[in-house]
Amino acid sequence: MEISAQKVKELREKTGAGMMDCKKALSEAGGDSEKAINYLREKGIAKATSKAGRSTKEGLIVSYIHPGDKLGVIVEINCETDFVARTDEFRQLAKDIAMQIAATNPMAVSRDGIDAKTLEQERTIYLQQARNEGKPEKILDKIVSGKTDKFYAETCLMEQPFVKDNEKTVTDLLKEMIAKIGENITIKRFARFRLGE
């Protein structure tokens, strides 16, 4: 199948991927741009996964104050080198993450940060709700598990839908950036302040 230079150019502008990668992605996807984007994302994610174990000792601490000065966030985002930490792309990512925290009020960066007592309390509530609705005993575990996953998606920053693009999670956003810059990135910690709380 012949892939037009215009189609390659459009895909390159959308994804930031190289010309040859875009051409290959379009060939693999039979000329379908959406499938090609997914193909590139999957390739990027594969690259990002291989970098996940690398140490992140550099980075930024970024603050965000919501208009009206009643809500603020401080977040620490780490990368491997000071060079990357100083790039506009990395700074923008840090700002986006701070705005995400301001908008969604997560409890923790990831599942590891959720207190065991809080999690057990939630699971107990889900179990009781399912029993009150008359659900059969044999499917209660499945229901509780599904509701627990939903709880994580709402309360863990990494699992939340990204506020600027609900089609991807914060994890997807980080993986795309890791693939783009070639360094591991981690969100270390954050604090969210609301006036009077």
The mean of the pLDDT values for the chain is: 86
Which CATH number describes the domain made up of 115-154? 1.10.286
Distance CA 153, CA 135 (A): 24
Predicted local confidence at residue 15, as pLDDT? 65
Mean pLDDT value across residues 121-131: 91
DSSP conformational letter for 95: H
Q: Do domains 58-109+156-194 and 115-154 have the same CATH topology?
A: no
- If one compares 70 and 49, the residue with the highest pLDDT of the two is 70
The whole-number pLDDT of residue 164 equals: 93
Given this model, what pLDDT does residue 46 score? 45
At residue 18, the pLDDT reads 66
Residue-level pLDDT at 30: 87
- Output the pLDDT for position 8: 80
At residue 137, the pLDDT reads 85
8 Å CB contact between 37 and 11? yes
Percent of the chain with pLDDT over 90: 47
Cβ atoms of 186 and 173 within 8 Å: the answer is: no
As assigned by CATH, the class of the 58-109+156-194 domain is alpha beta
Beta bridge partners of 187: 77
Q: How far apart, in whole angstroms, are the C-alpha atoms of residue 68 and residue 84?
A: 32
Going 50 to 53 to 58 to 61, the CA torsion angle's sign is positive
CA distance 95 to 143: 36
Q: Locate the domains of the chain by residue range.
A: 5-51, 58-109+156-194, 115-154
Q: Which residue is it, tokens 């910690």?
A: 189
- Can you tell me the distance from the alpha carbon of 118 to that of 113, in angstroms, rounded to the nearest whole number? 11
**pLDDT for the residue numbered 21:** 76
pTM of the model: 0.68
Higher pLDDT, 19 or 138: 138
Q: Which CATH architecture has domain 5-51?
A: Orthogonal Bundle (1.10)
Contact residues for 195 (Cβ-Cβ < 8 A; gap 6+): 69, 70, 71
Please say whether the beta carbons of 129 and 177 come within 8 A: no
What tens digit of pLDDT does each residue of 62-115 get?
999 999 999 999 999 999 888 988 999 999 999 999 999 999 999 999 999 999
Q: Tokens 């954050």 map to which residue?
A: 190
Residue-wise pLDDT for 53-69, tens only, equals 666 778 999 999 999 99
Burial of residue 105 (CB within 10 Å: 0-12, 13-18, 19+) is middle
Residue 197 has pLDDT above 50, yes or no: yes
b/e burial code for range 134-151 (CB count within 10 A of at least 16 → b): eeeeeeeeebbeebeeeb
What is the pLDDT, as a whole number, of residue 24? 83
